[in-house]
């Protein structure tokens, strides 16, 4: 049968090629002047390729080719002001006042889903305003609950100055309950308060409290 798939989603004619010509591409590229770098088609560990220096230019390569590769001409570039993000945690969403002061954007508390589709999941709360919604753009993203607005369902603030958390209803179409009382204005949150968004219930767990806040640690750091 002439049409084959190599197992990695590449189709080729096995009357012409013995192995997938597309899987080999990355290595076949370094194949000038009859100096073939042969690699079998197996899945290999990342480090194998990864260790190669970024600006690796095969000395055997055609000078014209290497000239092209050194120039940045035509290469796809990121935005001009793009800088590798400095990360604190696995998700660096909020860049706030605390980050500016401390150089890090520390966690100040958590929400834990105790009822709903994402039950068991935790969401980090950081300094200043945290947006809550279904969209990935939100600081706190609760994905699978359609009763939650896509963006800015509510906000959760942490004031570093007063060491206080507030829940602020925003563009939600549904009533938000805090410990079974409906709320329409910013309301102070206390440890183990339950925020009820309809299908999803979240329990609030502060990290910053009377016992600890980042302001006082700053001196130590």
Partner 1 sequence: MFLFKRNSKTKKVTDSGRTRRIKNIEGELSYQVGNLQKIGARSSQEDSFALINALDVNDIRQNGLFAIVADGMGGMKDGKLVSETAVAGFVQAFRSLNRDMDISRQLVDSVSQVNSLLNDKFDGEGGTTVVLAMIYKGMAYWVSVGDSSIYLKRNGGLFKLNRDHTYRNKLYLEELYKVEINKNEVESNKDGVRLSEFLGNSRVDEIDNNIKPLKLKKNDVIMLCSDGISGFMDEDTISDVLSLPPEIACEQLGKLIDGRSHKNQDNLTAVVISCMN
Work out whether 44 is an interface residue with partner 1 (CB under 8 A). no
Work out whether 38 is an interface residue with partner 1 (CB under 8 A). no
Sequence-ordered strand ranges (E) for 34-186: 107-115, 122-126, 128-133, 140-141, 154-159, 164-169, 176-178, 181-183
Work out whether 79 is an interface residue with partner 1 (CB under 8 A). yes
Q: By CB under 8 A, what part of segment 157-216 binds partner 1?
A: none
The neighbouring-strand residues paired with 4 are 12
Residue 27 has phi, psi (to 5 degrees) of -95, -30
The neighbouring-strand residues paired with 110 are 124, 205
Which one of 59-67, 107-115, 157-165, 210-218 is the stretch in contact with partner 1 (CB under 8 A)? 59-67
Binding string, 97-136, against partner 1, x = CB under 8 A? Answer: ---------------------------------------x
Query: What is the 3-state composition of the chain as percent helix, strand, coil, each rounded to the nearest 5?
Result: 15, 25, 60
Choice from 97, 137, 171, 188 touching partner 1 (CB under 8 A) = 137
Work out whether 26 is an interface residue with partner 1 (CB under 8 A). yes
b/e per residue, 145-181, with b = 16+ CB within 10 A? beebbeebbbbbbbebeebebbbbbeebeeebebeee
Minimum Å gap between C-beta 218 and partner 1 is 25
Which residues are at the interface with partner 1 (CB under 8 A)?
A: 1-3, 5, 8-13, 15-16, 22, 25-26, 28-30, 46, 49-50, 54, 57-58, 61, 65-66, 68-69, 72-80, 82, 84-85, 87, 90-93, 136-137, 143
């Amino acid at each position: 049968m002439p049409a084959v798939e190599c197992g990695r989603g590449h189709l080729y004619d096995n009357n012409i090629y013995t192995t997938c010509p597309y899987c080999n591409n990355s290595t076949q590229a370094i194949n000038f002047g009859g100096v073939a770098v042969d690699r079998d088609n197996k899945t290999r560990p990342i480090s194998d390729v990864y260790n190669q220096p970024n600006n690796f230019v095969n000395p055997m390569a055609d000078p014209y080719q290497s000239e092209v590769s050194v120039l940045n001409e035509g290469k796809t570039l990121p935005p001009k002001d793009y800088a590798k993000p400095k990360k604190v945690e696995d998700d660096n969403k909020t860049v706030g006042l605390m980050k500016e002061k401390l150089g890090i954007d520390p966690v100040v508390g958590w929400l834990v889903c105790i009822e709903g589709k994402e039950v068991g999941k935790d969401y980090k709360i950081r300094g200043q305003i945290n947006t809550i919604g279904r969209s990935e753009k939100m600081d706190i993203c609760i994905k699978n609950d359609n009763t939650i607005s896509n963006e800015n369902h509510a906000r959760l603030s942490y004031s570093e100055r007063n060491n206080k958390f507030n829940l602020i209803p925003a563009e939600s179409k549904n009533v938000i309950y805090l410990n079974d009382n409906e709320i329409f204005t910013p309301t102070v949150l206390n440890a183990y308060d339950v925020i009820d968004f309809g299908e999803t219930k979240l329990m609030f767990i502060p990290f910053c409290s009377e016992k600890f806040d980042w302001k006082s640690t700053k001196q130590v750091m």
